[in-house]
Structure formats: C-alpha cells, structure tokens
Structure 1
Amino acid sequence: MHSLIPVILSGGAGTRLWPLSRQSHPKPFLQLPDGETLLQKTLQRALALPDVHHFITVTNREYYFQTRDVYQPVLNQAEQRAAFFVLEPVGRNTAPAIAAAALQAEALIGPEAILLVLPADHLVQNQAAFAQAVERARRLAEQGYLVTFGIHPAWPETGYGYIEAGDTLEAAGTPLGFAVRRFVEKPDSDTAAAFLAQGDYTWNSGMFCFRADAYLSALERYEPQLYHDTRSAWAEGRCESDFRELAPGFAQVPDISVDYAVMEKAEQVAVVPGDFGWSDIGSWTAFGALLPDGVDGNRVLGDTVLEDAQNCIVHSSDRLTALLGVEELIIVDTPDALLIARKDRDQDVKRIVTELKRRGHEAHNLHRTVHRPWGTYTVLEEGARFKIKRIFVKPGAALSLQMHHHRSEHWIVVSGTAKIVNGEEERLIRTNESTYIPAGTAHRLINPGVIDLVMIEVQSGEYLGEDDIVRFDDRYGRVAS
C-alpha cells in the first residue's frame, strides 16, 4: 500500500466570519466553542488516519510560525510524525498550491505517494465515517483516479458547487465511489432543489485524494504553463530542514482552482460520497450551529442578557452584551469591531471587508491582538501621539534588531526577565523594572528565560504605524538577504 500524505491547505481570510476572522488571523486559526481551532482539528483528523508518517502544510511565511504553534500540542500528544511546510510568497489558489505539495511529496516519498488534500478551515465531526471515505478514495487513487469527496446535501444550498455522480466504481465487488459525470457551479435555488430531489448530486467539499504523479501529469496536460511555472518556483525555492519557500516567481503563476484547472477536464475523475458531519463553517449561521441551542432559539457565546430576543447568534467573549426586543440577528463583538447583521444576510459580511479594504481601514487585517513569530502584542489604548501595548514573548524568543524613526518607547517588565539591547548597551531588566528606547536607536528585546515574558510598552511620537520599523537582523527571516 502506498504512503498516504495529508496535505493541509492553510490560507485565505475567511471574510464571511469577520470581525473574528482577519487577514492576519484567518479562519483556520479561529477558536471554536470547544476551545480548539479548525487548523488544530484538521491536523488531528489527518494524524488519526492509518499509515500517516508525513504530512505537508501549504501556507505562507506570515502564518508559518503561528501554524507551528498550533501544531505543537497535537504533535506532542501524537506519535512522531514528520511535518513539512511549503511556503507561498503569495496565494495563487488551490491548483498551484497542490502542485507544489505534490512536487514536495515526490521528493520526500516518491511519485507514487497518495495525497489527501484537506482545507484547514473545514470541520468534520464523525472521524470514523471520514476514515472509511478516505480508505475508499485511497483505493481509487491507487487505480489512477483523481478523487474528490462529495457531501450528501441536507438542503438546497446555493453557496456550494455540486457533483453529479455517474457509474459505480468498485474493486473486488466492493463499491468505492462513482465516476464523475459533471461538476456544476453554485446553482440558483430552483436548480439546487431539483438536485436534492434527484438524489445523485453531492456538494463539492473541496477535499481530494490522488497520487502525486497522477495529479502532476493531469496538470501538465491541461495547464502546462502553470505546471512548469510552479515546478520552476519549487525547484528554485529555498529549502530548510522542515520547509521549502517557493521562489518569488510563484507570484506569476495563474490564480486558478484545482476544480477549474484539472478536475473538470480530466478523464479519470471519481467522487466518494460521505456523511461525516462536514461543514466549511462558511458563515456566522454555520458557526452559530456549533453553539448550544438556548432559550427562544438563541445561540450565544459570552456574557449576555436576552430579553424578548429570538433566534439570534451572539459572540461576545470580552464584555456583557444585552439584547432587547430583537430577532434573527447576528451580533459579533470584538475589542475593536462590532458586527450587527440580519441572519439572512450572513453571506454578505464579506462586502463589509471589501469596503474596509477600499478605505484602507486596519480592521480588515489586524485584531487588537496580533500574532508574531516571537509571541503576541495587544494594543490596549491609543490616541494622538501615544500607543500602549501589552507584549508577550515566548521563552527563548527574540524580536528583531530594529530601529524606529518617529517614535520612542518605554518598556516595563510585568513578569519574567528581559534581555535588552539598547544601542551599545546590553543588560537584563526584571519584574517592575523599566528602560527607555529613544527614537533612532537600534534595539532588541529577548526572553532569555524558561517562562513567558510579559511587558507593557508605551510608544510616543509623531507617527506610530507598524511600518515604522527598520530591521537589521531577524532570526525569523524577515530581513532580506
């Protein structure tokens, strides 16, 4: 039996879950009501399958360190598995991403490696049924099929693509799946209802299974330029012990999905239908379904007071939210943004993100708490010529050696010990001690200890934007060579 390599695709902003999801903190990193993230659940689901010894994650450098942090607790509890990352300089959709992963799988295992492609932002709640579907898909992939997973539709959804099943495919008398007759893009409501009644259509889940060489051969046949450009970016990329960073030329690769590039054109395409509690958590209504069904149909997370309120979804983890005399609303409260929408408009939340981008508003990109390779910072308060942050630095981590043109900084250690480089001076400061960094001075912050370092930073100056950073040295690769 050929090796099974899960390929986790982790990118995208999840704009329909704004304001919880932002460009710098997309949907895979969102914490679900049970405390786990979608990315964490995807990895757990992949590692629970038999004969998995390697897995590949396709992401970018911005998410690379945060992804490793999410993976670490899972890998600590699992048997030793080899994790490898493919880092894109820019996202170019699923067809090139999977091609880069297939090239990496060939290098790690060989062309016969079977890829199980899993988006990092999907939820599967029945692991046993999922594993059975994967086993059927794997057997078809060994026969050379390009396999997609179909979800039996529960309602006439217009937001998903559909797959029409054809002839039954089997091995040794055991049905494994169906030949794909055709793919149908998101239909209107009447067509979706007809598909549901007909019974041989499934939702297109966006999960796939195929041999690495089968996918690459199909891609070379149907999208030769994309294939050759991706191979060049992979071959010319920088390779380290656990990651390959694709060359900048990858930015010129066509932006196209695997469905359009390969699956809708290839001949040996199969679908394995399944019922394994799948959801793409593609709206606040879908997220709300994960919350307990409360009084009057309300689903809430956080401290709430509801009076004469029906069928509302409330996500408010930081402060009390009160509802009075309303119904069918979505209320999502975060420290820097509040969303209030009718439930029947949940698919239009992305329009707000588009408008925020048009205005250049930071709320489409960053939360108050921002993840960095070394830890996090949280903006506590800001105003004219000042900003106050809480800075958390992981044990052994260090900020870059940097300088600011327009601001000075006061650092106060709350807990832990900080090693400070301040111009020509280097010293330790401990709890309740502080230091001052003048504008124009090269400085660095290091946590030399084995416990977390927590500091308060007070910035003052004429410009306090995050782009006022000149980096001289950085252990996380954020300084151009």
Structure 2
Amino acid sequence: MKPIVMAGGSGSRLWPKSRAAFPKQFLSLTSEHSMLQDTLLRLKGLDTEAPVFVCNDDHRFIVAEQLRQAGLKHDGILLEPMGKNTAPAIALAALHARLKGEDPILLVLAADHVIQNTPAFHQAVKEAEALARQDKLVTFGVVPTCAHTGYGYIKRGAALGDSGYQVASFEEKPDMPKAQAFVDSGEYLWNSGMFMFKASRYLQELSKFAPEILGVCEKAIETESLDLEFVRVDADIFATCPEDSIDYAVMEKTDAAAVVPLDAGWSDVGSWSSLWEVQDKDENGNVVQGDAMLVDVKDSYINAEQRLIAVLGLQDVIVVETKDAILVAHKDKVQDIKTVVNKLKAEARSEYKFHREVFRPWGSYDSIDNGQRFQVKRITVKPGEKLSVQMHHHRAEHWIVVSGTAKVTCDEDTFLMSENQSTYIPIGVVHSLENPGKIPLELIEVQSGAYLGEDDIVRFSDRYGRTGGDKQETKQ
C-alpha cells in the first residue's frame, strides 16, 4: 500500500489556533505530535511504502519540516498550484504513483483526522485492502456514535464477504430528524473521506465519469519537475481543471464502490466542540490545556497558550487563547467561527491568515511589538540555514544577537556577530543573514521606516528557490 496524505485546508474551523497559513493538520491538539505526524505514526505496523503528500504551495515547507522533526520519510510532496477539491488532487497523486510503472494500492488519508484506536484502524485497513485487490473502490464508513448533522452518511448494501459492503447510496449532511433515523436504522455510516483502491482502478473510473479532470491532470503532470524535495506540476494547465470532490466525481457514480465499517474513535475535528468530545475530561467534564484556573465550570474546553485564563461560573463554553487573539464561544455556536474569519479577511486583518509567530524553512519570526513607523521581531534561524539575499526600499533594520552566532552580509562586508552584539542595515542595502553555528540563532530585529508592509522585499538569491518580491512572506 502507498499512503496518499491530503494535507490541504483553509484553517478556519479551529481559529484562532489554525490559520490559513497554518491550518489544523500542523497543530498539536490531541498529542505531542501534530495531526499530520500522527497520521503517519499510526501507520506503523502496516505494510506500507513511503507516503506521497498533496498540499498547496504555501504549506510546503511546514510539511517538510514536520516530517523532518518526526524522522518520517516520504516519496514526494506534490504541490497543488491551486485547490481543485479532492478528485483532481487524488488523480495527481495516482498519476505520480504510477510514474515508476507500478500500480500500487493507494490508501488515501486526510492529514487532520483523529483516530484513537489504532489496532481497530489497522484491522479496517487490512479488510479494505482485500476488497481493493478485487478492484473495488473502498471508502471507510465510521460507525456512528450519535445522530450528527455535520457528516455525510453512507448506506450499506449487500455484504461483500466478512468485512465490507456494497455502497447502496451516499447521503448529504442531514437535518437532525433524518440523522436520527439514519442512526436508528443501523444501516448507515458516517462518510470519513478516507479511501483505498488501486491507482489504475481510480483512474479508470475517473476517465469514465469525469474524463475532463483526468485529461487535465495527465497533461499537468507530464511536465512535473522536482524543486528541492517538492514535486511541481504545470500550474497553467491545472488551472483549467474542473473542481469536484471524489464523492461527486466518482464514488456516487461507480458500481464498484464498497464500504468498510470503521469503529476506531474517529473524528475529523471539524470544530472546537468536536475536539472537546474526543479528549479526556476532568470530573466536571472540562478539557483544560495550558495555564487555567476554573471555578464552577462544567463541560467546557479551555486552551491557554501563553497567559493564565480564569473562567468562573460557565458551562458549555470554548475559550482559546493565542499570542494575538482570544476566542470565547458557546459550544453550540462554534460552527459559526467561519463568519468571524471571513470578517477578519474582509477587513484585511492579518489574524485570519497568520499567527504572530510565522514559520519559514530557515526557522521562524515572532512579531512581538509594533507601532507607527516601527516593528519589533524575534527571529530564530536554525543551525546551517540562511535567509535570502534581499533588500528593502522603505525600511532600515537593526539586529541584536540574543544567542548563537550570526553571519551577516551587509553590502560588500561579511562578518560574524555573537551574543549582545548588534548591527544596522540601512534602507536600500543588499543584505543576508545566516546561522553558521551548531545551535539556533536568536536575534531581535527592529524595523523602522515610512512603510513596513510585508511586500517591501526584493529577493536576489535564495537557497529555497524563491526570488523576487513576495506579499505574503517576509524575512526569507
């Protein structure tokens, strides 16, 4: 089996922890590992090849860094030029997997699901594999624990041996009476969005029911190229691809659809209330992470990132604190968080997209203070890494080393700085920053000038393959 891990996401449903530039699959919410790392770690014990990842361009370095941190291998990080939903994304992965002339069985997984019972998951995967070898297109149907209106449902058909069933029908997200009827009947399962099939079998059915999607993906991947450890396809061609989900494009139309029941403590963690449901609670039904003081609080989720949170006399609330935002919501209203995110986006506020601390392939920066004509950042550069050779038209910069060693190039001069030393980068001067040491480099950067926007950067050379200006990224 070759796992295909779908690592896209908009980062809106678990705001303020998740953001567009750092969605939930990269967060550590239920364990010490990120959800993406847990997705791969739970495969241990199965006979699988190195996985292929599908993600968007903005998240590529986060995926690569989280795999490196966990010591996990991969067989390609496939970059979608733009989101086109799951049918094209899986098509690209299937075509990429077949480039070696092989026809692997693909285990398609989302990078942001929680599965609490790994042995039960392994058993379901093995049962699905047996059906996939019989040319079935298998989906995993979660055994319902309640009448849930947030999931699509799958109706079981005739049994296929001892493990799976034919799919009788797919049902859209129902209202509560219909969801209750589904659960009471015992014939319905939640649609998990996980699949297993031969690469060739999926492509065959896609050619039958969505030939335009397959045709565009085949043309886009003909010119696939390797950029560091990332696989790029033709963006202009892929932009013409129809947007559709695998359910609508293939699974609802094929007569080869099968479903394997999965009873393994699954959740797609689609909201803060879903996260509360799957985590261990105290005697009052509360989930508490971080520094919190609770008095007469019940059935609530409290997550403190940096500061003490005190909550008194409340029930069924969600309180989430980050460095730059705090969410307070009733558990019944967390599905409306997207309204807040959309409003932040409409007002061009950075909180919808970025955390105060932003991760880059060379390290990270934390915007710790700002005001009129100045901004202060704490910059961390990993050992051996280097920011791009760059210049700014509107701002000067002061760098003060807190720990480690900095190799600085400022115009024609290159020199080393150590703890408590500082330097000045004037407006318009070409410069770069590098960590030549064995420990992380920590420094404070003070920016000053008439314009401090993130698009005031001209990049001349970069070891990560990026050049020119970039309105979304700074200090690269």
TM-score under structure 2 length normalisation: 0.95
Cα distance in 2, alignment partners of residues 395 and 44 from structure 1: 26
Match of 1:389 in 2: 377
**CA shift for structure 1 position 277:** 1.3
Match of 1:221 in 2: 208
2:330 paired with 1:342:
yes
2:197 paired with 1:210:
yes
Q: Which residue identity does 2:246 align to in structure 1?
A: V
Cα distance in 2, alignment partners of residues 306 and 389 from structure 1: 33
Q: Deviations over 1:229-274 (max 9, x none)?
A: 1111111232357431111122232221111111111110000011
2:464 paired with 1:476:
yes
**CA shift for structure 1 position 109:** 5.4
Q: 1:152 aligns with which of 143, 155, 162?
A: 143
Q: 2:19 aligns with which of 14, 18, 22?
A: 22
Match of 1:178 in 2: 165
Match of 1:377 in 2: 365
Match of 1:360 in 2: 348
Q: 2:84 aligns with which of 69, 89, 92?
A: 92
Q: How does 1:259-274 map to 2 (within 5 A)?
A: 259-274=247-262
Q: Deviations over 1:340-394 (max 9, x none)?
A: 1111111111111111111111100000100111110001111111111110111
**Which runs of 5 or more structure 1 residues have no equivalent in the other structure?**
none
> Is the 8 Å Cα contact of residues 14 and 282 (structure 1) preserved in structure 2?
no
Q: Deviations over 1:162-219 (max 9, x none)?
A: 000101112xxxx130000110010110010000010010000000000001111111
> Is the 8 Å Cα contact of residues 420 and 429 (structure 1) preserved in structure 2?
yes
Q: 1:117 aligns with which of 87, 100, 108?
A: 108
Q: How does 1:309-348 map to 2 (within 5 A)?
A: 309-348=297-336
**CA shift for structure 1 position 324:** 2.1
Measured at CA, do residues 241 and 139 of structure 1 come closer, stay the same or move farther in structure 2, by a change above 3 Å?
Answer: farther
2:43 paired with 1:51:
no
Q: Deviations over 1:134-168 (max 9, x none)?
A: 11111111111110000000101000000001011
Q: Which residue identity does 1:255 align to in structure 2?
A: E
Cα distance in 1, alignment partners of residues 230 and 320 from structure 2: 36
Match of 2:391 in 1: 403
**CA shift for structure 1 position 297:** 2.4
Cα distance in 1, alignment partners of residues 5 and 59 from structure 2: 13
Measured at CA, do residues 470 and 13 of structure 1 come closer, stay the same or move farther in structure 2, by a change above 3 Å?
Answer: same
What count of residue pairs does the alignment treat as equivalent?
468
**Which runs of 5 or more structure 2 residues have no equivalent in the other structure?**
470-476
Match of 1:255 in 2: 243
Measured at CA, do residues 475 and 101 of structure 1 come closer, stay the same or move farther in structure 2, by a change above 3 Å?
Answer: same
Match of 2:4 in 1: 7
Measured at CA, do residues 313 and 10 of structure 1 come closer, stay the same or move farther in structure 2, by a change above 3 Å?
Answer: same
**CA shift for structure 1 position 307:** 2.2
Cα distance in 2, alignment partners of residues 85 and 332 from structure 1: 32
Match of 1:165 in 2: 156
**CA shift for structure 1 position 131:** 0.9
**CA shift for structure 1 position 290:** 4.5
**CA shift for structure 1 position 276:** 1.1
Q: Which residue identity does 1:92 align to in structure 2?
A: K
> Is the 8 Å Cα contact of residues 228 and 464 (structure 2) preserved in structure 1?
no
**CA shift for structure 1 position 49:** 4.1
Measured at CA, do residues 135 and 109 of structure 1 come closer, stay the same or move farther in structure 2, by a change above 3 Å?
Answer: farther
Cα distance in 1, alignment partners of residues 392 and 152 from structure 2: 49
Q: Which residue identity does 2:91 align to in structure 1?
A: A
Cα distance in 2, alignment partners of residues 292 and 143 from structure 1: 40
**CA shift for structure 1 position 53:** 2.5
Match of 2:474 in 1: none
2:64 paired with 1:68:
yes
Match of 1:133 in 2: 124
Cα distance in 1, alignment partners of residues 234 and 371 from structure 2: 41
Q: Which residue identity does 1:224 align to in structure 2?
A: P
TM-score under structure 1 length normalisation: 0.94
> Is the 8 Å Cα contact of residues 288 and 313 (structure 1) preserved in structure 2?
yes
Match of 2:472 in 1: none
Cα distance in 1, alignment partners of residues 227 and 453 from structure 2: 32
Q: Which residue identity does 1:128 align to in structure 2?
A: P
Task: Give me the CA root mean square deviation.
Answer: 1.6
Match of 2:34 in 1: 37
Moved more, 114-123 or 443-452: 443-452
Q: Which residue identity does 2:295 align to in structure 1?
A: E
Cα distance in 1, alignment partners of residues 160 and 348 from structure 2: 52
Cα distance in 2, alignment partners of residues 457 and 343 from structure 1: 40
Cα distance in 1, alignment partners of residues 372 and 85 from structure 2: 40
Q: 1:300 aligns with which of 285, 288, 308?
A: 288
2:188 paired with 1:201:
yes
Match of 1:192 in 2: 179
> Among the aligned pairs, what percent are the same residue?
47
Measured at CA, do residues 240 and 369 of structure 1 come closer, stay the same or move farther in structure 2, by a change above 3 Å?
Answer: closer
Q: Which residue identity does 1:30 align to in structure 2?
A: L
Cα distance in 2, alignment partners of residues 291 and 264 from structure 1: 33
Cα distance in 1, alignment partners of residues 193 and 241 from structure 2: 21
